[in-house]
A and B are shown apart, each in its own frame.
Chain A
Amino acid sequence: KAGVTQTPRYLIKTRGQQVTLSCSPISGHRSVSWYQQTPGQGLQFLFEYFSETQRNKGNFPGRFSGRQFSNSRSEMNVSTLELGDSALYLCASSLHRDGEAFFGQGTRLTVV
């Protein structure tokens, strides 16, 4: 069974641009969560999607948005990028919303 796949693995963007990151969950998993990880702030929850609906949202500005498709694949979008958005963005899928989470390798975003 294929694991969680995140694309792209690395990305360099300029301040003010927007970016879209993609996550393909494990087949059969309907819950997808996104996290931002930085050295100073640790793992910060962005949002969770279950069956195409956003179920939970973290404390991030409206520039951060996401969606989930009918095949459970998810995308997150960050508009008007800021230098502070440089981070490792992790996606995790799970069969049940409170069960074991399976993580992708992450997308390393650098904003210059």
Chain B
Amino acid sequence: SQQGEEDPQALSIQEGENATMNCSYKTSINNLQWYRQNSGRGLVHLILIRSNEREKHSGRLRVTLDTSKKSSSLLITASRAADTASYFCATVSNAGNNRKLIWGLGTSLAVNP
């Protein structure tokens, strides 16, 4: 079963607007990662945030992590048409020896020019 659940499932915005996607998970984690996937292609890693971090930035991307609520958000500022893609969160559990990434179903983002 999927650990991460992204919200919303689909998002459509205009160029220049900000896009916010959320991810909730169920178990305690070691880290949480956000990935992007263009249609039919492989996933590309965006940001990794560790369980002891609350916020991380990378260019126009801002990720927050709230371990008390077991949730994370990805904010893309000043969106561009090229940001159109699916965005996935993945968590790594800190339970025992289980180190596999567990994925959500993704948020499909459409940025309209």
Residue of A nearest to B50 (CB): A98
Task: Determine how close the nearest CB of chain A comes to the CB of B87; give it in whole angstroms.
Answer: 12
- Residue-wise interface mask of A (69-96) relative to B, using a CB-CB cutoff of 8 A (1 in contact, 0 not): 0000000000000000000101010000
Interface size class of A (residues with CB under 8 A): 20 to 34
A99 vs B49: C-alpha distance in the bound complex, in angstroms?
10
Tell me the A24-41 residues at the B interface (CB within 8 Å): 33, 35
At the interface, yes or no: A55 with Cβ under 8 Å from chain B?
yes
Using Cβ atoms and an 8 Å threshold, which residues of chain A touch B100?
A: 33, 45, 48, 55-56, 97
Do residues A42 and B45 form an inter-chain contact, with CB atoms below 8 A? no
Query: In terms of DSSP, what is the predominant structure of the interface of chain B?
Result: strand
A103 vs B101: C-alpha distance in the bound complex, in angstroms?
13
Do residues B104 and A42 form an inter-chain contact, with CB atoms below 8 A? yes
A43 vs B6: C-alpha distance in the bound complex, in angstroms?
13
Do residues B33 and A105 form an inter-chain contact, with CB atoms below 8 A? no
Do residues B40 and A106 form an inter-chain contact, with CB atoms below 8 A? yes
Using Cβ atoms and an 8 Å threshold, which residues of chain A touch B31?
A: 98
17 residue pairs bridging A and B, Cβ less than 8 Å apart: A35-B103, A45-B103, A48-B100, A55-B100, A56-B98, A56-B100, A92-B43, A98-B31, A100-B45, A101-B35, A101-B45, A101-B101, A103-B42, A103-B43, A105-B41, A106-B40, A106-B41
Residues of A within 8 A of B (CB): 4, 33, 35, 42-43, 45, 48, 55-56, 88, 90, 92, 97-106, 108
